[in-house]
Structure 1
């Protein structure tokens, strides 16, 4: 009860969002309460800290961009609104203390569209449509907002803000070759958000296949990364130079030395590089072209993953947000470290991520995002002078903490002795004995899958009474170079075995009922679901897959895929295999060629406009199941791409997942 009392006192404007979770779950939460569009998101402080911008959902369901005065948070000004059937907010960014930029996804055009960019003053004036992201489509029909007489086309996209107080933003202009659906290269420009005036961000030529840009504290492009014939190349320039110099070149994944991350305001480059098998954060000397002897930050047991906090007034790095098993922050400034301690004392049991304004050290307020394993993210303003916390809202305010299960981080041993990290979410309501379980497989697969904080999908499944196991299987990122490399060419092999071993480990812990274990996931997770049902029919009793790969060879031959020639010719052959020299491996580990072996209940779903894993994967597999499995269902969402963008699809899909698992797993005979 102590936390309840404390939260009521410190969050007077947001009592329900923070304290209601302490009550017992009265009823099963609705599917929509997990998967509806967040009630508040894209929360950001103005450069001077005097205002906070956020996207909200109005009472009639309209998405809106709103601005609050941090000194009087009840004063709310709505500066833009969208048609929820046509568009969704993608990003919000302060351009300067008066002007806000925001990025919008046009839902009408499906996956075959870029992003639209807008700017507006914080009082709602001087609205400008800067980039029309829809190829050959009139913006007023898609978004329903003002049309500027000068507007960039869909070969441009927002890149970053400039930090200099001007009305400018940085945009990328993409160029294509004659083969790939995705851009082959890009170049940076400055765009004035009032006049729509465009100017080059630097002079002279640029390296071949320039794709990833890093600017310094003055918004000057200084680093660009390229991929050329299987080599990952990093190039650098001084601010006044017109030519670029290579500072690193190596075979991608195998001999690349480091990855540039950011500049601080004082022109120091920080990079991620391997240190004792794990990635750590280093300073890099651009004059000597050498890494510092020791990292400035290492996270034992985990690759460094984080983001800097920079005070652009003093040009100092003042803190680093990072993720190990959960999120955390290292503050290099004593005052901000003390503020963090006060906030953590006021909000115990939460991961409290503190964001400051662009003038970080002088900011009168701090923005706090708080989450735990059982509670979705909620936002608050912390006034540094008084220590007062004022709540702004929760992304899913209808959910109670008691309706999601507790999460834990573990490591188990796979059959070959490799130690595999995993997150496990227990059922929300305690019950005696082993419970039905789901192995939830992340996509990628060469990424990290989870963290300890509230996980939307795991929380939903736990609310329905399932143990949710999320293995960080080999081949994923975040746990060292050896862990990543152990998954190369192991689709359907050792990567798949890690998932089965996770399920059996959960049974040994007494958590999972061995007769009621399912497997599910999207993209690579969809592939792993199909292979899991085929390889382990006695272990996995049902499966749900969406946007999944069904045929390894089709990944290389589909004309609808957005995979570039660079990826097809090099990186995919390293990570997945060569369709020619590894033909037997592809045959053995392609679900499509083994579809007749899959007999368990299966729910499949796919976006009709998916370019990453074209819908042909799903259609071919569904056809191959005919005559072999009458317990399989395929859902096609025509206007969706690689994942669900619309609330309608998310709620519909997860409602069907709920019913499917209830019938075929929880209450299976």
Structure 2
């Protein structure tokens, strides 16, 4: 088995050979599955665990000894890939699996749960992968059920015990509850954690013990705290789970001294990081960290029982350091790696001078390196897209424009490489959700692929997008096809007025809600868009409420009962509006060339959204192309389908707005 370094050097050599080509990078450089999928330091910083795959090999788990940079694979399967992993302690790894060779339709197994020593010994299965068949474990002991999942928090990492969740899944994978189990990774024995209500989320404290549980009852979310003084749960806050409310906050983490840190608005438009007083049940008077122009998003950086800083995500991901030594180290690393944002992560209980570094920019896909703070040695571990060369990528920046009603709209603008920034063919790429944040200043495969083909790419953060303040978010409620759509059109006109976009060569595109906005853009603003690309897009809001008996949906009933009526539209009270903003009911108005692509196994936007719209639009529009990937769900899981889809997109765009 080849060492990790050998594998990564071979990938880099191949990338260098490709750099000499004059043509744009091939589609596979953007959309193939990466051979490297991240890494994590052991708690003591002596070892690095990395997710590695090569050629026809499944993704395995490799461990690098940082003393001599020797590496070996400690776990790898023939029939599936390793998906998640945590260090249980300095000697032991817990991991689960994911099959990257199949689409959603063909998924037959759960993730399972496994442990292995860092030297590859004492491999053991702890949870089943298959449902409904009985499977025995070591010594005839029954394994944990297939719906046992890893917690998204590593825990204390100082014993053989971890916490895992026992998920109650209904229908098409809808999470009804998430109970917590304490698991001994050597014996396989578990102990259920008692808690109030229907648990939906957990937070471990600084000692790796369960301290907070979030519950859901109807439309009421509550946060409960396990008070160590009384060993009893008490409620800290309750609020509307879908629309928020006074006193609401999001628990983030416990600091090393036991302080609870939360994200809250505290009467302001944008959320910030606060300390929470667990004695008096209130926020600190002043925030710990605020982000200019953005809601707070990030996590604590703790090492050697000290809070060193906070990883934050404003326009880009970066770090606010509290520790003077880490501030100085950041300057050293930035000098070694100029031109990229460099995220430093120390070990939890360091016994060595090694730290993990992740470097990226708008042109540079994420690289993972290790840095020795004593010798100043920087060693690359891997890149998520090693065939991509920054010199061949376009620039990406956050811009702002004003909507017709005066609202400020942020947007991401990616331009082709080579300094071309005027009179360009443009793709308006609309993010999904829609109540999520669309983009960031980083390397984005979709936008950069289009930019390398000569297109400007505009990605509006239209009203309703999160991360830009409560007012921006709430302005999008019940505005599907209305003001949200106007924001996208206003951004398109802004790009034309700036001289960036050629008004005669603009296409609108997007997935999920972005697909809905694509169709509504062709309907509302036919003079703006010469073509449209909709993949896995919503075509009728009524179909989201009820997709029919033939098509499964993973939208929870609580979201349909409480969330959708408030944020999208009430099916009864707003029936006239939902009909007026239904692409399906107005399909005859779409006359521009259109590319439609849907997954046959999609349970978020079931296939009948696409089939019904295709049947309705093709009656009067001969320029409609249809693609169905039968095995795919809500997006393309398989590289062959991603490559096929984007190859079709390139041909479709060149035919209709001709970049070259």
Question: Which position in structure 2 is the counterpart of 1:5?
Answer: none
**1:284 and 2:273 matched:** no
Q: Given the alignment, which residue of 380, 385, 392 partners 1:396?
A: 385
Report the Cα offset of residue 400 of structure 1: 1.0
Q: Give the Cα separation in 2 of the matches to 1:354 and 1:14.
A: 26
Question: Which position in structure 2 is the counterpart of 1:56?
Answer: 52
TM-score by length of 2: 0.92
Report the Cα offset of residue 595 of structure 1: 1.0
Q: Give the Cα separation in 1 of the matches to 2:237 and 2:14.
A: 48
Question: Which position in structure 2 is the counterpart of 1:562?
Answer: 554
**1:32 and 2:6 matched:** no
Q: Given the alignment, which residue of 545, 550, 568 partners 1:576?
A: 568
Q: Give the Cα separation in 2 of the matches to 1:72 and 1:302.
A: 43
Question: Which position in structure 2 is the counterpart of 1:77?
Answer: 72
Question: Which position in structure 1 is the counterpart of 2:339?
Answer: 349
Aligned 1:457-536 pairs, distance under 5 A = 457-536=446-525
Structure 1 residues 374 and 246: alpha-carbon distance in aligned structure 2, compared to 1, 3 A threshold: same
Report the Cα offset of residue 432 of structure 1: 7.2
Contact 1:180 1:565 in 2 (8 A): no
Question: Which position in structure 2 is the counterpart of 1:265?
Answer: 256
Question: Which position in structure 1 is the counterpart of 2:531?
Answer: 542
Contact 2:135 2:143 in 1 (8 A): no
**1:189 and 2:184 matched:** no
Question: Which position in structure 1 is the counterpart of 2:85?
Answer: 92
Contact 2:15 2:388 in 1 (8 A): no
Q: Give the Cα separation in 2 of the matches to 1:666 and 1:504.
A: 20
Contact 2:538 2:605 in 1 (8 A): yes
Question: Which position in structure 2 is the counterpart of 1:6?
Answer: none
Question: Which position in structure 2 is the counterpart of 1:652?
Answer: 644
Structure 1 residues 137 and 548: alpha-carbon distance in aligned structure 2, compared to 1, 3 A threshold: farther
What secondary structure is seen at the aligned counterpart in 2 of 1:244? strand
Question: Which position in structure 1 is the counterpart of 2:414?
Answer: 425
What secondary structure is seen at the aligned counterpart in 2 of 1:115? coil
Aligned 1:275-314 pairs, distance under 5 A = 275=266, 276-311=268-303, 313-314=304-305
Contact 2:360 2:442 in 1 (8 A): yes
Of the structure 1 ranges 260-269 and 242-251, higher mean CA displacement relative to structure 2 is found in 242-251
Question: Which position in structure 2 is the counterpart of 1:105?
Answer: 98
Aligned 1:109-258 pairs, distance under 5 A = 110=104, 114-136=110-132, 150-159=142-151, 160-175=153-168, 181-200=173-192, 202=193, 204=194, 206-239=195-228, 241=230, 243-252=232-241, 253-256=243-246, 257-258=248-249
Q: Give the Cα separation in 2 of the matches to 1:592 and 1:331.
A: 51
Structure 1 residues 635 and 156: alpha-carbon distance in aligned structure 2, compared to 1, 3 A threshold: same
Alignment RMSD (CA, Å): 2.6
Of the structure 1 ranges 614-623 and 179-188, higher mean CA displacement relative to structure 2 is found in 179-188
Structure 1 residues 22 and 365: alpha-carbon distance in aligned structure 2, compared to 1, 3 A threshold: farther
Contact 2:411 2:458 in 1 (8 A): yes
Gapped regions of structure 2 (runs ≥ 5): 1-7
Of the structure 1 ranges 124-133 and 319-328, higher mean CA displacement relative to structure 2 is found in 124-133
Q: Given the alignment, which residue of 351, 367, 373 partners 2:356?
A: 367
Q: Given the alignment, which residue of 594, 605, 608 partners 2:597?
A: 605
Structure 1 residues 550 and 279: alpha-carbon distance in aligned structure 2, compared to 1, 3 A threshold: same
Contact 2:11 2:386 in 1 (8 A): no
Q: Give the Cα separation in 2 of the matches to 1:132 and 1:542.
A: 48
What secondary structure is seen at the aligned counterpart in 1 of 2:526? coil
What secondary structure is seen at the aligned counterpart in 2 of 1:207? coil
**1:386 and 2:371 matched:** no
Report the Cα offset of residue 135 of structure 1: 2.9
Contact 2:90 2:157 in 1 (8 A): no
| Number of equivalenced pairs | 643
Structure 1 residues 254 and 47: alpha-carbon distance in aligned structure 2, compared to 1, 3 A threshold: closer
Structure 1 residues 607 and 114: alpha-carbon distance in aligned structure 2, compared to 1, 3 A threshold: farther
Q: Give the Cα separation in 1 of the matches to 2:579 and 2:116.
A: 54
Structure 1 residues 432 and 195: alpha-carbon distance in aligned structure 2, compared to 1, 3 A threshold: closer
**1:452 and 2:437 matched:** no
Structure 1 residues 240 and 544: alpha-carbon distance in aligned structure 2, compared to 1, 3 A threshold: farther
Question: Which position in structure 2 is the counterpart of 1:621?
Answer: 613
Gapped regions of structure 1 (runs ≥ 5): 1-11
**1:591 and 2:583 matched:** yes
Deviations 1:80-118 (A, max 9, x none): 2244xx534432221111112222223547266643332
Contact 2:298 2:313 in 1 (8 A): yes
Structure 1 residues 509 and 254: alpha-carbon distance in aligned structure 2, compared to 1, 3 A threshold: same
Structure 1 residues 119 and 281: alpha-carbon distance in aligned structure 2, compared to 1, 3 A threshold: same
Q: Give the Cα separation in 2 of the matches to 1:393 and 1:168.
A: 30
Report the Cα offset of residue 407 of structure 1: 0.6
What secondary structure is seen at the aligned counterpart in 2 of 1:184? strand
TM-score by length of 1: 0.91
Contact 1:68 1:76 in 2 (8 A): yes
Structure 1 residues 67 and 176: alpha-carbon distance in aligned structure 2, compared to 1, 3 A threshold: closer
What secondary structure is seen at the aligned counterpart in 2 of 1:124? coil
Question: Which position in structure 2 is the counterpart of 1:4?
Answer: none
Contact 2:113 2:148 in 1 (8 A): no
Q: Give the Cα separation in 2 of the matches to 1:605 and 1:209.
A: 38
Report the Cα offset of residue 410 of structure 1: 1.0
**1:437 and 2:426 matched:** yes
Report the Cα offset of residue 61 of structure 1: 4.5
Report the Cα offset of residue 484 of structure 1: 0.3
Contact 1:595 1:621 in 2 (8 A): yes
Q: Give the Cα separation in 2 of the matches to 1:89 and 1:224.
A: 28
Structure 1 residues 643 and 87: alpha-carbon distance in aligned structure 2, compared to 1, 3 A threshold: farther
Structure 1 residues 151 and 369: alpha-carbon distance in aligned structure 2, compared to 1, 3 A threshold: same
Structure 1 residues 434 and 158: alpha-carbon distance in aligned structure 2, compared to 1, 3 A threshold: same
Contact 1:42 1:91 in 2 (8 A): no
Of the structure 1 ranges 470-479 and 157-166, higher mean CA displacement relative to structure 2 is found in 157-166
Q: Give the Cα separation in 1 of the matches to 2:118 and 2:55.
A: 21
What secondary structure is seen at the aligned counterpart in 1 of 2:175? coil
Q: Give the Cα separation in 1 of the matches to 2:371 and 2:601.
A: 44
